[in-house]
Structure 1
């Protein structure tokens, strides 16, 4: 029986050397029936020749504008021709047997998405993700679970955008990744839509990938603070069961706490995120917010 066709979709943003490492790992993983799609975000030139050195079958889609994480992945979805879509951050490395292990979980028709265990590249003994806790309806926060599951398959509330396989048929039913977040929280919203349709999200204990965390945005940059603040509010307005209670908590607890504790640059990013979410209620964002050192220090 022929192995199912899988489309690996990854987004590159001015890090072709990092993406090349991922492509090399895909070539070494041993799965034969693959379609590899690199969406080159905000890229005028064509680096197909460069990427082909690391995987000869790679297909490069160039976007002259920055479509954000969701927009770029959606561009890949529209070009994919496979039964399963495997979204991988470009700063990950694929291990042998991962694709085969994930595919086994889709024998259950109620399963819509499956993640591998995500380990830190700098220390593979440490687990970054083995699931997500539910989002607290009051705080709008949740936590990464970081312990190896006891059972081979573990149900979780949300998948991780760095590495998740989704059936193409499920994507047809739930729609593409929501682009109005631009960066952060889009996979949580997409997970919510998937579960609202009655599908389960699983984590596979027997498969893992390595992840170099937050290479594009920085682990604690003003850019990251802005998007996570704005999109936390936007997500809760859209999905929160008791949004007024969340908003009260945010304004009386989170807002003053962050204004006191954050540095000048991070504080400005936080305030701008709050204003854009609450006052201007911007939706359909298509351009990243730039936080230059001269302006936000």
Structure 2
């Protein structure tokens, strides 16, 4: 009996200590989010992202919104909004949706069409392997507001859907900046809603930018998942002159997730000479031919 009493007392003390340490953890990350060092802010966001609890979601939302009273503060940097949006997509909490929409509506009107001043190669930078590729993704300190807004849209597409989300994505699909249009298409694919097919098809018919065009086509193919004319168009795009477009076409075939797409990728792999595109094609090909439980 005495032993059980001691054991119970030890358990209660341990629980109190754990709770206190837990509070210290969140308070520490909260302070780090107000740092002037972008890398420290990013690390704090990462730590709040990869814990099981959703307790840190509101802190990440605060990081996304920034500090309005100090516009030049590092806490308002596009990179912070970029990583906060990625984190919120991973956390999957619907309370993020209104703040994501509000932030996008605040920042996106200032973005104009991106005019490339010189021919750019894919080696100039693409995003990580678990995110959609970007036409001008560089170092953390050089992440633009265009990239941040693109990530906000993709986060919206992956979270609980709402009428406000639908309106935002449709408006973004007609944005002056081609990367925003591309990101909106990615978000529509992430939402996996067939209601977007007509909107995407209409925008595809008007689109002139190759990257945005393949993004819209990729979204259509990913939602339809049918070996139709859109599918054949994507397979033809595997030989496009632009390596980024070829990479996006490869990702589109993976989205289709049908083995019928594998031979087209296999053929493209035989002639691909760009290392990053080749790596993506091989990864997508392996995925298509792999055995997976239905």
**Normalising to structure 1: TM-score of the pair?**
0.29
What TM-score, normalized to structure 2? 0.29
Larger Cα-atom Rg: 2
Per residue, is there more helix in 1 or in 2? 2
Q: Whose relative contact order is higher, 1 or 2, with alpha carbons under 8 Å and at least 6 apart?
A: 1
Q: Which of the two has greater strand per residue? A: 1
